[in-house]
Structure 1
Amino acid sequence: MTTTENRPGSDVIDWSAAPPPTDETGWLQRAREVRRILERDAAARDRAGATPYDEVALLKESGLVTLLGPVEHGGGGQEWPTAYRVIREVAAGDGSIGQLLGYHLLWFWAARLVGTPDQIEAVEADATRNRWFFGGAVNPRDADLTIREDGDDIVYSGHKSFSTGSKVSDVTVLEGVLDGSGDPGTHVFAIVPSEQEGITFHDDWDNIGQRLTESGSVTIDDVRVPWTSAAGFVDRAFQPRIYNTLNVPTIQLVFVSFYLGIARGALETGAEYTRGTTRPWLHGGQQRAVDEPYQLDLYGDYQSKLWAVEALADAVAQEALEIHRDAWNVTAQQRGAHEVRVAAVKARATEVALEITSGIFEGLGARATAAQLGFDRFWRNVRTHTLHDPVAYKRREVGAHLLRDELPEPTWYS
């Protein structure tokens, strides 16, 4: 959808007429309103694959982009347990938009993970007041961007295969390695405006799922940043903390959130279709599909499994809350033990989401394979993103901790 008249949320809800929510209950209700708008035409928008400018505008108008922002600057003042549940709600309506929101919230928060106190305050104030939407060009499987010093500036150059958010972002997070800093090198994060001559988004995201995430490749050509904006650096020297390494467990829980949201969307959309459209088997002796014993078993099994993983995800998010609240004093033991729990829920969320989104067709019937209905999008979305990093390595982290009392070493994926 590209016109104002057809934009999701157009002439539906005027959020500006009401004060923003002040607690988790209110923000979850706001997220459900966004979900209902998105899910009305999610299948059609998935087929069209258009750049989701209007969908991101909807996230801004609803206030969800500033969910984690300081209240004094107009933000929601919420914490990660609420954010993860909000991402799940949005992803239930549209998996792509749930991923965009999740990545945005991670990059919005990244100043707290890496930055100095002054940088954190400045970034969050500007991002909240201006409702910036964040993208990121930080794919660790590619060669790092190179950074050269030029007076009081650092200058980024290079290419990344993936840059989620790309054209719909207001700002992009860059990460690279400083020339001459050896191996593994000095890594530097910075936030830059997305619309500038030095950044070229290549519009080459053409995957089977998560089609509206704008995750194509990007070329960075002499993008200049003041040294004072290098995240976590003081007088050109990085200020390390254990908390600097919490970006990976946090983004992994973002992944869990939109996997579970997509699974929830498949289950509830499927149940609605089964109640209203699916016919009973002609030799089964039932008058309604909802009375078929195999339907009751299927939906009961999937609901039970989803509830279980959602509960685990909520518990792990709550465990992380104390780590986030005591960011300056996190220990390696705390960080490692938390990552093991994150690995466990990531593994279970992956398996359950794939099972539900592929198996739900058993409850729908042959007519539900019509392309117009787009029931396949749920599986395509989960299958695409769950290949981000091998889930076997997540299970291995859990096993190594249980059998050998080992904690995962912080990496770009653990």
Structure 2
Amino acid sequence: MNAIVKDNRRDTTQATALIQSDAQALEVAEELAAIFVREAAERDRERRLPHAELEQFSRSGLWGITVPKEYGGADVSAATLAKVVARISRADSSLGHIPQNHYYALELLRLNGSPVQQQRLYAEVLSGARFGNAHAELGTRTAQDRATRLRHDGSGYRIDGRKFYSTGALFAQRIPTSAVDEDGVLQFAFVPRSASGLKIVDDWSGFGQRTSGSGSVIFDNVRVEADDIVPLQPVFEHPTRLGPFAQILHAAIDAGIARAAYEDTLAFVREHARPWIDSGHEQASNDPLTLAEIGRLTARLHAAEALLEEAGEVLDQVQDEANASAVAAASIVVAKARAITTEISLNAASKLFELSGSRATLAAHNLDRHWRNARTHTLHDPVRWKYHAIGNYYLNDTLPPRRGTI
């Protein structure tokens, strides 16, 4: 599928709710998740893009919960944000994934945006606007390199380049993108969806996260105004929490997938598994091997969720008083959460088949989507480098690199 998408289907006739507290954010996430899970399997099977669900999602106010209080938002904690993302991802991991870069853009705006930019862009979000993503590129020497260029054009700029794995762009009103200016400095442009020369291509064909709309974005001489440009490079030259902030959201997505696979395993085994042949009982729970595996999964899942919550709490401590050692410590605890949630999401999704048998693979159940989603999303950045950074930190007192993948 290589359709160029022109309609992001935003309903401007309905008001967007304003969430005012962490508790309210969690309550709304719970209510939405109960709705989103109902047709999650069908959306995945049919690759039915969740336009209506995303409209409901953003109108709920959850896309504005990280906006600072002085600009009208709830400014929820990182721990709460991670719980919200995990809860939505547990219902439908594509829906949990889509706003990840939206929250990333809002965090960068908090760190490097001017007060005028913050006032204007935060107001857009609180009124229901969704920000997408156009960062990753193919063909560069490393994942951090950018070939997309930003050049002066009168009072504004022009952007040329191509991006892939642009989760969220398909459904967004603005497409934040990273580009290198004429001085070789990395900038962040909040490009309006309506900009001439901007093309969003629905060419995402991954076997997992199928409805995340993670296709390509093409910038062909796209005009962007100077007041839509925010510096990006300084957040990696000085200690900030942007990198671990991005990573905790990915960890939350994986935790949500793990929880969904775990709960579907329990439900399927209770309903379908044959009784242990030697027990004489009609309950699958008498099988000691099944019990041991469920026990192991339970312990690992609870440990992953606890580490995710701890990572959020540590991340909140460095929001306003960032220094090299504090940011490094936050990056490491988030890396631990990211590593463990990667492993438990894959393990829980795989054990689902082992414990449920061949009936779990029937298309009618579509339970394989959990493994497909976990396998696809956990490839976002290599977990082996997180263990390398963690070991180097504890053994050699070496601070992790400042970038969005640690």
TM-score normalised by L of structure 2:
0.88
Hey, what does 1:383 align to over in structure 2? 375
Q: In the alignment, is residue 137 of structure 1 matched against residue 141 of structure 2?
A: no
2:120 to 122, 139, 157: 122
2:173 to 170, 175, 191: 170
Shift of 1:232: 4.0
Hey, what does 2:264 align to over in structure 1? 269
Shift of 1:146: 0.5
Cα RMSD (Å):
2.4
Which consecutive unaligned segments of at least 5 residues does structure 1 have?
A: 1-14
1:315 to 310, 315, 322: 310
CA contact (8 A) 1:92 1:261 kept: yes
Between 1:384-393 and 1:99-108, the stretch displaced more is: 99-108
Mapped to 2, the partners of 1:124 and 1:159 lie a distance apart of 27
- AA in 2 matched with 1:413: T
Shift of 1:187: 0.9
- AA in 1 matched with 2:131: F
Specify whether residues 226 and 300 from structure 1 end up closer, same or farther in structure 2 by C-alpha distance, changes over 3 A only: same
CA contact (8 A) 2:255 2:345 kept: yes
Mapped to 1, the partners of 2:15 and 2:116 lie a distance apart of 31
Shift of 1:293: 2.2
Mapped to 2, the partners of 1:148 and 1:293 lie a distance apart of 65
Shift of 1:70: 4.6
Q: In the alignment, is residue 100 of structure 1 matched against residue 98 of structure 2?
A: yes
- AA in 2 matched with 1:346: R
Hey, what does 1:206 align to over in structure 2? 205
Specify whether residues 389 and 21 from structure 1 end up closer, same or farther in structure 2 by C-alpha distance, changes over 3 A only: closer
1:403 to 372, 376, 395: 395
Shift of 1:74: 5.8
Mapped to 2, the partners of 1:246 and 1:22 lie a distance apart of 23
Alignment of 1:68-107 (within 5 A): 68-70=66-68, 75-107=73-105
Alignment of 1:133-282 (within 5 A): 133-139=130-136, 141=143, 143-179=146-182, 181=183, 185-232=184-231, 245-282=240-277
Mapped to 1, the partners of 2:235 and 2:344 lie a distance apart of 37
Mapped to 1, the partners of 2:163 and 2:227 lie a distance apart of 24
Mapped to 2, the partners of 1:223 and 1:250 lie a distance apart of 29
Shift of 1:278: 2.8
**Does the residue aligned with 1:97 lie in a helix, a strand or coil?**
helix
2:300 to 299, 305, 329: 305
**Does the residue aligned with 2:205 lie in a helix, a strand or coil?**
coil
Hey, what does 2:27 align to over in structure 1? 29
- AA in 1 matched with 2:287: E
Offset from partner CA, 1:160-215 (integer Å, 9 cap, x none):
12211122111110110112x2xxx2111121212333211111100010011111
Which consecutive unaligned segments of at least 5 residues does structure 2 have?
A: 1-13, 138-142
**Does the residue aligned with 1:134 lie in a helix, a strand or coil?**
coil
Specify whether residues 387 and 249 from structure 1 end up closer, same or farther in structure 2 by C-alpha distance, changes over 3 A only: same
- AA in 2 matched with 1:62: S
Specify whether residues 396 and 64 from structure 1 end up closer, same or farther in structure 2 by C-alpha distance, changes over 3 A only: same
- AA in 2 matched with 1:135: G
Hey, what does 1:292 align to over in structure 2? 287
Hey, what does 2:4 align to over in structure 1? none
Mapped to 2, the partners of 1:219 and 1:244 lie a distance apart of 32
Between 1:205-214 and 1:137-146, the stretch displaced more is: 137-146
Offset from partner CA, 1:123-166 (integer Å, 9 cap, x none):
212221x2111111011637431111112111111111221112
Shift of 1:26: 2.8
Alignment of 1:347-386 (within 5 A): 347-386=339-378
**Does the residue aligned with 1:135 lie in a helix, a strand or coil?**
coil
Shift of 1:84: 0.6
Shift of 1:244: 6.9
CA contact (8 A) 1:114 1:244 kept: no
- AA in 1 matched with 2:377: H
Between 1:394-403 and 1:283-292, the stretch displaced more is: 283-292
